[in-house]
Amino acid sequence: MPPPRKTKKSESQHSKRAPAAALPARNTSHVVVASTTPLHALPLELQQAILNVFITAFPISHNAERLTQVTQEIKGYLFKRDFASAFGQPAYLQAYALRWSAARALGYSHILTHPDRASILTTTFATSVKREDDHVELQARDLSDPIASTPPRRVSTKIGPRKVVCLGGGAGAEIVAFATAHRQLDPKSLLEIIAVDNADWSDSVAKIWPALSTAPALSAHASVAAKEKIENRPLLEDSSMVTVSFNHQDVLTWNLESMKQKMQDASLCTIMFTLNELFTMPVGSYLLVIDSPGSYSEIQLGKTTSVDGLAMTPTTKYPMKWLLDHTLLEVARSGDKVTWKKMESEDSLWFRIDQKERDRLRYPVELENMRYQLHLYRKI
């Protein structure tokens, strides 16, 4: 899960597995112009509360010179595609989370609470609550109000936490984003977040988890009014409603039975900038894929052969979106029955931090914009 670049493709943390069978010719008739529609904006105070989680979790932020040195070392390893070294030291993982995960957490929070997806997330959260509420109408929280005191009404179908599985989510961005979405959409529900990654992010996740429910350090002379400001309060007011766990696991070598156990009853699975494998998921669950857009996410398939001493490489480039559609909508059919439905698809979107807000947000390193593609599927 390498850092986002302004004009170049983010490196992939995992290698891709080529399919056993040859793929049909690529159809380019589906090309869509990049969307220029701006995303809704989370309140500035809430964005600061998100950033405060990373500032609290990783004290390295207070040593700018050391942070710059470490991030340059990480970039060097990523450039050489030496992912084992780039994600092989606790100091590297913490610096990565501080440097890149914070901005992605802002972007993911915008994505998850966007009106196009809020109803799905609200339903996901609302179907599990701490107490029984019989046949109550579902109503999402007003996202424009950062301190709305009235929780959304909800339909209760069972007691117990709803499960979200984040593949490649060890760096913390997904964890913080789902905590934000939970706060905004239905803070009275129970949510279980499971992050799975082949790098050992356990120490970083162990720091992020308490930081979600920890208020930022303030001056001893801070007023009561200052302490009550949303940016000076914990992102999660009640940490008992959300649980977070981390699984150090390469999905390419994951034991099938263990995989099924983790994915069982999952309401949502996300693959954000780490698309590698698709799991067998229960009917009614969603798969949200976010990755680099355009040619940066093309996968080249084929083998290099030698003809008369010359290297010949009969390869074909396939866009990630096309491979997703081919895998889920065609290959994954059960006979003539379609098993996945595409709910939403965007070839190119931008999450941009407003310049005026950027100047007002407090964070020790530069926050980068994020260009991405988004595809949402549902198992049917």
Distance (Å, whole) CA 155 – CA 15: 41
Q: What domain count does the chain have?
A: 1
Using CA atoms, how far residue 230 sits from 44, 147, 246, 306, 366, in Å, is: 10, 7, 28, 64, 23
**Residues contacting residue 114 through CB under 8 Å, at least 6 positions apart:** 39, 40
CA 147 vs CA 105, 120, 141, 188, 246: distances in Å: 20, 22, 10, 15, 30
pLDDT of 130 reads: 46
DSSP one-letter string for 282-329:
-TT-EEEEEE--GGGG-EEE---EEETTEEE---EEE-HHHHHHIIII
pLDDT at position 196 is 93
Whether 70 maps to a domain, the answer reads: yes
Q: What is the 3-state secondary structure of 257-295?
A: HHHHHHHCCEEEEEEECCCCCCCCCCCCCEEEEEECCHH
Q: What is the pLDDT of residue 266?
A: 87
Question: What pTM did the predictor assign?
Answer: 0.68
Q: Please tell me the distance from the alpha carbon of residue 9 to that of residue 332, in angstroms, as a whole number.
A: 28
Residue with tokens 């964070």: 363
* 328 assigned to some structural domain: no
Residue 331's SS3 state is: helix
Whole-angstrom Cα distance, residue 170 to residue 203?
10
Q: Which domain holds residue 117?
A: 44-300+341-379
Q: Is residue 190 part of a domain?
A: yes
Environment class of residue 108 by beta-carbon count within 10 Å: exposed (0-12), middle (13-18) or buried (19+)?
A: buried
Contact 211, 61 (CB under 8 A): no
Q: Is residue 33 part of a domain?
A: no
**Which amino acid is it at 295?**
S
Radius of gyration over every alpha carbon of the chain, rounded to an integer in angstroms: 21
Is residue 230, in this structure, part of any structural domain at all? yes
The pLDDT profile of the chain, 380 residues, written as one tens digit per residue, is: 555 544 433 333 333 333 333 444 444 333 333 443 444 678 999 999 999 999 999 877 667 888 889 999 999 998 887 888 999 999 999 999 999 999 999 999 999 998 888 777 777 776 554 443 433 333 334 444 443 433 443 433 444 678 999 999 999 999 999 999 999 988 888 999 999 998 999 999 999 999 999 988 776 667 777 777 777 889 998 989 999 999 999 876 788 888 888 888 888 888 887 643 454 577 888 889 898 887 666 767 665 555 555 555 557 777 888 888 888 888 777 778 888 899 999 999 999 999 888 889 999 888 999 999 999 999 88
Strands annotated E in 150-292: 158-159, 162-167, 191-197, 242-248, 266-272, 286-291
Distance in angstroms (rounded) separating the CA atoms of residues 177 and 50: 8
Give the C-alpha separation, 182 to 361, whole Å.
22
C-alpha distances in angstroms, 96 versus 23, 119, 365? 36, 32, 12
Domain assignment present for residue 263? The answer is yes
Q: What confidence score (pLDDT) does residue 284 get?
A: 86
- Structure confidence at residue 18 (pLDDT): 37
Confidence (pLDDT) at 335: 79
Domain membership of residue 240 (yes or no) is: yes
Residue 7, in any domain of the structure: no
Q: Which of 114, 150, 145 is nearest to 35 (CA)?
A: 114
